[in-house]
Structure 1
């Protein structure tokens, strides 16, 4: 029995509606997260002043329930990374302050990687499917070039502290970076920066006792920034070598 024109039109329209729902998923999630963050005034807890005012209570909780507090802290960090909330440097410094340099760095790196991966998959499902069929011209060329050396490019972007964390997550999703490559590049690339902030946090008690504030711009001081940039440049050596080999005659 032939279908009516209304049924045919509805059948064609349904996939489009589903696509727009997927496209709206990512911005809706981020907007709701930011609204809750600002509406509940959670930003006041992600400050140096809040950490200093509650340091005795926080350290006591870690001493009494180290595993539980570590899991709770990781959950907060993952939520902040997934929703692209501000305050990652404070959270990483707090990890070093509460759990020490090595454990604090590990918690921060794992939590940031998990949160970034969740946002990556959300963006991949939301905007990724929408853009996949529309990647033409320069966008398609950029996508193809990025995919050939995705790990090296991603590692470079993670190491250089000038690119926003959330922007790299979204760009990797839009450019169809393989999930394993994304996780590996993110995990390895954020270790140096996380270790720097966690080391500041591990010495925070002494800084507070002296009545001073930690330097959150320490990552941009020459003695720290230059080695990280050198490491970032080193990550692109394989890309340069492949480019050089392509230019040589067989």
Structure 2
């Protein structure tokens, strides 16, 4: 086997992960436009819808392309598999891209929503629990992919699609949650923001908090918080660089290293 062939095969084997990462980058960078124009709650709904579609598309490839039938395949099954192979591969990669898009959008839109609906004293705790449940989800995903569960040649599509159950349920439950009061303030809808805060806090005494949110938004509107200013201003540059460096360093440890070793073995 030539070195060129090995490199090509390694690239093909890792392409599904590359496409997922590309989708995550697109989802994270476009999330701000979604939650600005569609509201925070509607953006989360669209985000979950993307994952549901991705899960459905992930189920289809192995159902139409039986390239791993047990036993000796018949000439008819071989011919049908070859005819549907390109369609199956296309649906698989589209599913991976949408799944990555949903994951990237979720990391932005969901975090923003949780921060905006949480009381000031609880914001750090709420975001921490959000990250904790992400890690728990990764752990559960690794367990489900074990060979004696869904990590088998004829069940892997279910192992990659079962996560769609949670956003499918969430598409119905999301409408039980109130909209972000900060979004209402940004849209100058004070009455709706007041009602949202009263629902979240279970009390009518929220005028002081609403005034604080309005004051914060007024301050933000007066400042030039462009992406260029984040890197050029000494006020934001070092906190931003510190966060980026810590996030980059985290990729070389913890769950990422475990996932790499698991895949290699």
TM-score computed with the length of structure 1 as normaliser: 0.27
